[in-house]
Amino acid sequence: MSVLPLLDIGLALLVVAVAAWTIAARNLFASVLGYVAYGLLLALVWVRLHAPDIALTEAAVGGGVTGVLLVTAGKRLDALKATRSGAGPGLRERIVAGALSALVAGALAFVVASLPTPAPSLAPQAAAAAAGPGAGLGNPITAVLISYRAFDTMLEKIVLLLAVLGIWSVGADDAWGSAPAPLRRARPDGAMVLLARILAPIGALIGVHIFWVGADAPGGAFQGGALLAAMWMVAMMARLLEAPRIGSRALRLALISGPAVFLTVGLAGNILAGSFFAFPPGFAKPLILFIEAFMVLSVAVALPMMVAGPPDGESKP
């Protein structure tokens, strides 16, 4: 009898309690801090589900980048003095909403408890993709993302581009082409600058490492890219770096490089390997690393640009 089941139950209660806190907290900032803690705790639950790749993604995106996004949004709302949000629903509506939410949660719990056995699985196909001709990828998740479901992954990168375009397009007309507002208006104090100077280079190194080992171990293009993005944002928050102008050609090339390279290789597969997104045998692994390198670049640039928000005419040079 190990202590693990008790830890599992403790972790489960903690995750639900922190989630309840993010809903119940009185002010927005407390709620966002709760959400960051919640993302990190949820990553531990993912580890317990034998999903270290998702745990890395959840910790980097759910905890880190989303936290910065919401804190920045809250600060910008404060600066606009736009804090009035109207009255919430009355007590009666709250009780009905609570009852209905509990009903949905209960139904979902019932479904989870009565999932069919044996469970359906696509693991054999994923194993075939991982061991496919010339691929030899040790990490089945990377094999699924880049080979078995390559088209999904390519479209996901295009979703990132569309989101960046959507965010840029809500800026004022005359601000088009200028840089987004800085993540912090005020110059930060020494501690933040010191943290960024020490953390960012180490974090960037770890990001590149996570991308590099992703073919065989937990990690990959997205997790590595998200970590690089987080480090860039740390440097932006310390005002060591400023967000680039959205009209910058280098920025735009970096944004489209991931999907563009992926699509080009996919189309070349039509000619060289006989089908769309097929990799020529014996040459798959270097090709996959080549695609992933550009995807890391795109992700590392797209996430901070999404957090930085639309172009802001005030910071026009």
Partner 1 sequence: MNPSLLAGLVGAALVGLGLYGLIAHPHPLRKLLAFNLVGSGVFLVFGVVARRGAAAGYAFDPVPQAMVITGIVVAFAASALAVALILRLAVAGGDVSLDPQASGRRDDGEAE
- The footprint of partner 1 on residues 211-270 (CB under 8 A) is 222
Amino acid at 142: T
Query: Within 133-152, which residues bind partner 1 (CB under 8 A)?
Result: 140-141, 143-145, 148-149, 152
Question: What are the Cα distances from residue 193, in Å, to 196, 197, 199?
Answer: 5, 6, 10
Q: Is 8 in the site for partner 1 (CB under 8 A)?
A: yes
Q: Is 113 in the site for partner 1 (CB under 8 A)?
A: yes
One residue of 135, 153, 243, 269 binding partner 1 per CB under 8 A: 153
One residue of 54, 175, 238, 263 binding partner 1 per CB under 8 A: 54
Q: Is 16 in the site for partner 1 (CB under 8 A)?
A: yes
Between CA 218 and CA 229, with CA 224 as vertex, the angle to 5 degrees is 150
By beta-carbon proximity to partner 1, the closer residue of 76 and 209 is 76
> Shortest gap between Cβ of 108 and partner 1 (angstroms)?
4
Please provide residue 83's backbone torsions phi and psi, each rounded to the nearest 5 degrees.
-110, -15
> Shortest gap between Cβ of 312 and partner 1 (angstroms)?
11
By beta-carbon proximity to partner 1, the closer residue of 75 and 285 is 75
> Shortest gap between Cβ of 287 and partner 1 (angstroms)?
19
Report, in angstroms and rounded to the nearest whole number, the Rg of the chain calculated over CA atoms: 22
By beta-carbon proximity to partner 1, the closer residue of 52 and 188 is 52
Of 290, 304, 210, which Cα lies nearest the Cα of 251? 304
By beta-carbon proximity to partner 1, the closer residue of 159 and 202 is 159
> Shortest gap between Cβ of 109 and partner 1 (angstroms)?
4
Residue 98, burial from CB neighbour count under 10 angstroms (0-12, 13-18, 19+):
exposed
> Shortest gap between Cβ of 189 and partner 1 (angstroms)?
26
By beta-carbon proximity to partner 1, the closer residue of 201 and 247 is 247
Binding-site residue total for partner 1 (CB under 8 A)?
95
By beta-carbon proximity to partner 1, the closer residue of 15 and 251 is 15
Cβ within 8 Å of residue 210, ≥6 positions away: 56, 219, 220, 223, 224, 227
One residue of 1, 49, 191, 271 binding partner 1 per CB under 8 A: 49
By beta-carbon proximity to partner 1, the closer residue of 200 and 306 is 306
Of 150, 156, 128, which Cα lies nearest the Cα of 140? 128
Q: How far apart are the first and last CA of the chain?
A: 65
Q: Which two tokens stand for residue 93?
A: 């509506």
Per-residue contact flags (x/-) with partner 1 for residues 283 to 302, judged by CB under 8 A: ----------------x---
Q: Is 127 in the site for partner 1 (CB under 8 A)?
A: yes
Residue with tokens 């994923």: 126
By beta-carbon proximity to partner 1, the closer residue of 51 and 268 is 51
Q: How far apart are CA 272 and CA 263, in angstroms?
A: 14
Q: How far apart are CA 76 and CA 68, in angstroms?
A: 12
Q: Which one-letter DSSP state was computed for residue 26?
A: S
Give start and end residues of each alpha helix (H) in 63-90: 66-79
Q: How far apart are CA 149 and CA 127, in angstroms?
A: 13
Query: Within 165-184, which residues bind partner 1 (CB under 8 A)?
Result: 166-167, 170
Query: Within 72-111, which residues bind partner 1 (CB under 8 A)?
Result: 73-74, 76-77, 80, 82-89, 93-94, 97-98, 100-102, 104-106, 108-109
